[in-house]
Amino acid sequence: MQRTSQDRVQYGKIFAVLLLLTALFLPFTVGNTLAQENVGIGTKNPDQSAVLDLSIELLSSPKGFLTPRMTSLQKNSILAPTTGLLIYQTDGASGFYYYNGLTWIPFITSVSSFSSLVDTMAWTLRGNAGTSSANFLGTTDPKDLVLKTSNVERLRISAIGEVSVASLVSGGIVKAVPGTGTLVSAVVGAAGDVEAPLGFSNGITRSGNSVMLGGGLAFNTTINLNNSNFSFSGQGNVGIGVASPTYLLEVGGTQGIASVRLQSLAGTGTRLVTSNSLGELSTLNLPGGNVVGGSGTANFVTKWAADGLTLQNSQLFDNGASVGVGTTNPIGLFSVGSTSQFQVNATGAITAATGITSSGAIQFSALNAGGVVKADPVTGNLSVAIPGIDYEKSLTFTNGLTRNGDSVRFGGTLNSA
């Protein structure tokens, strides 16, 4: 390394000072140095354990020991510092620093400095500040991490990552105690702990979290509920005789053949199933007979009481039954109004039409085009007649021909051709 002229001047000053110190204290210490292999400055009796003993014993006024002072940059620029080298840093985190063979270590000068230093070197009882993601609690070699209380092992994390708790039964199931979160061994079969393993048989199988009937379930299998309720939860559909039900309850079978029986709806005679506002099913007796479908003279619908179950259109009635509109005592097959203003007898003829007078009118929507009306000779249906086809067109009389009622005659002046 090249030495500058300034460095040589500085070394010269240091050498001069050392010579001066040697001249001052050599008479007092040389004997001790030769005999005891230690040096004392400011004392005739250097401590036996010290190679160099600095004292103010022989000085005229107290003085201190001044170590080399330098900045942080100068400290870090020292080439190959040896272990134990001591300096005083003047900038930044000023103070005494010594080299421990790996890095410069500051002397602790206050409680806050001590806490800051410990936070970077160890985990403390009251927690650490200034931690980073690089900090961790554990080992850097393949050894287990063990936690103890009362010098008894409570928790162990093995070198391969397995965690064991001493208070838990080996191979058991762990549960957390409500309220405290304490981990304890669960008791199999105990309420609130864990269910005992279930065995499935007689057509009952398990798929994930679902239990279903399938396989070889026998026809005569009985499910005993011991007076308990049996219900299906969730949004799934239940099918009986249907592989993929599309309704909450879907029962398969043959159309027109009874396949569902509810004993609570049983009763005497034919009954009609109804539902109230709560969806509860019940039945009503049909005193007039059966409700049938299709067409024919034997079909009929019973008369209903005022119970809110009024039938709508497309009703057929047996021979001999009467229909009343606006009256409870119809006369003939069909009556309109409480005073029988319009009546139709058993042959279909209108026997009464009270209210149709010279000032009244009967309107037919199919005849709204106007004109002459004709009746079909077979069906009796009314329709608009066509002039010239269904009846004669109106005649115009000229050249002496005149009309008088149903007669046509000559009259007036005849003109020659």
What does the pLDDT look like over 141-153, one tens digit per residue?
999 998 899 998 8
pLDDT averaged over every residue in the chain: 72
Which of 246, 252, 255, 289 shows the shortest CA–CA distance to 271?
289
Residues in Cβ contact with 332 at an 8 Å cutoff, skipping those fewer than 6 apart: 322, 343, 344, 345, 346, 351
pTM greater than 0.85 (yes/no): no
Q: Which two tokens stand for residue 27?
A: 């008479």
User: pLDDT band at residue 31, thresholds of 50, 70 and 90?
Assistant: very low
Q: Are 64 and 55 in contact (CB under 8 A)?
A: no
Find all residues with CB under 8 Å of 293, minimum gap 6, and list them.
299
CA distance 35 to 54: 18
CB 154, CB 147: distance < 8 Å:
yes
Residue 302 in contact with residue 289, Cβ under 8 Å? yes
- pLDDT tens-digit readout, 219-232: 555 666 676 676 77
74 CA to centre of own chain: 64
Please report which residue ranges of 77-147 form alpha helices under DSSP H: 111-119
Q: Is pLDDT at 57 greater than 80 in this prediction?
A: yes
Name beta bridge partners: 69: 88
Asked if 333 and 323 count as a contact pair (C-beta separation under 8 A), the reply is: yes
Q: Which residue has the higher pLDDT, 153 or 83?
A: 83
Q: Cβ distance 357 to 363 under 8 Å? A: no
Q: Which of 369, 367, 368, 370 is nearest to 383 (CA)?
A: 367
